[in-house]
Amino acid sequence: MKQLDYYFWLNSDWALLGADRLALLAQRQDVQVNYKPVDLLDVYARTGGIPLSRRSVQRQDYREQELRRWMPLLGMQINVTPRYMCPDASLASRFLIAAELLGYPVAQLHKEILAAQWCHEQDIAQADVLLGVAARLGLPGPAMMQRAAQPEAERQYRRYTDEAVSAGVFGSPSYVLAGEVFWGQDRLDFLDRALAG
């Protein structure tokens, strides 16, 4: 089975827009997606990226314009400036890693954590929000939270972030297939073609 490394930030609006199509692509192409949450601010610091809050007004405005173009095309609705926008994503990332370490699938969990911020006005830096997401999915949230507090989860989070930079990743979402980086949910069609070839 082909392997696809998927590097994403759990504050990424664009990762949410690509989540369903990635899942469908993986099913159709029979590819194993390795979900790897990263510390995007660290990635930016090491690759020349600029956090949204420090970008020019023109760039911030264009981001909102692009989101409003994509939402109807994808049949999705998100809040482009949610109440709890881009909080510390480290706990959420370790929580997802904990689910993986405990042997649970994480595709839907990753999508629902993203949706909590961008669709439901929730602060994903809060443990109770993450526990609520897990409960809705039938996952053992308390066990996941306990595992997320262990050094192993933090080490894996740092490892994924280092891997991303080494692989040439500089933004979220990024999909890496056999060393080739596809940056952005608008590159999923190119990824689909590469998998088919």
Model pLDDT for residues 80-135, shown as the tens digit of each residue: 999 999 999 999 999 999 999 999 999 999 999 999 999 999 999 999 999 999 99
> Where residue 189 falls among pLDDT bands split at 50, 70, 90?
very high
List, in order, residues 6 or more apart from 87 with CB less than 8 Å away: 11, 117, 123, 124, 125
**Mean per-residue pLDDT over the chain, rounded:** 98
What letter represents residue 138's amino acid?
Answer: G
Is 95 within 8 Å of 125 (Cβ atoms)? no
Note the pTM of the prediction, 2 decimals: 0.97
**Domain 2-196 carries which CATH code?**
3.40.30.10
Given the residues 12, 93, 172, 174, select the one marked as catalytic.
Answer: 12
Q: Is 90 a catalytic residue?
A: no
Q: Report residue 196: phi and psi, to 5°.
A: -70, -30
Locate 165 and state its tokens.
Answer: 């930079």
pLDDT at 34: 99
> Where residue 168 falls among pLDDT bands split at 50, 70, 90?
very high
What CA–CA distance (Å, rounded) separates 83 from 126? 14
With residues binned 3-state (H G I as helix, E B as strand, rest as coil), the percentages for the chain, rounded to 5, are 60, 10, 30
What CA–CA distance (Å, rounded) separates 31 from 195? 8
Domain limits of the chain?
2-196
CB count in 10 Å sphere of residue 55 = 14
Q: What is each CA distance from 155 to 12, 98, 103, in whole angstroms?
A: 22, 11, 17
DSSP 6: E
Is 80 within 8 Å of 13 (Cβ atoms)? yes
Burial of 83 (0-12, 13-18, 19+ CB in 10 A): exposed
Is the confidence at residue 197, as pLDDT, over 90?
no
What CA–CA distance (Å, rounded) separates 113 from 134? 9
> Where residue 28 falls among pLDDT bands split at 50, 70, 90?
very high
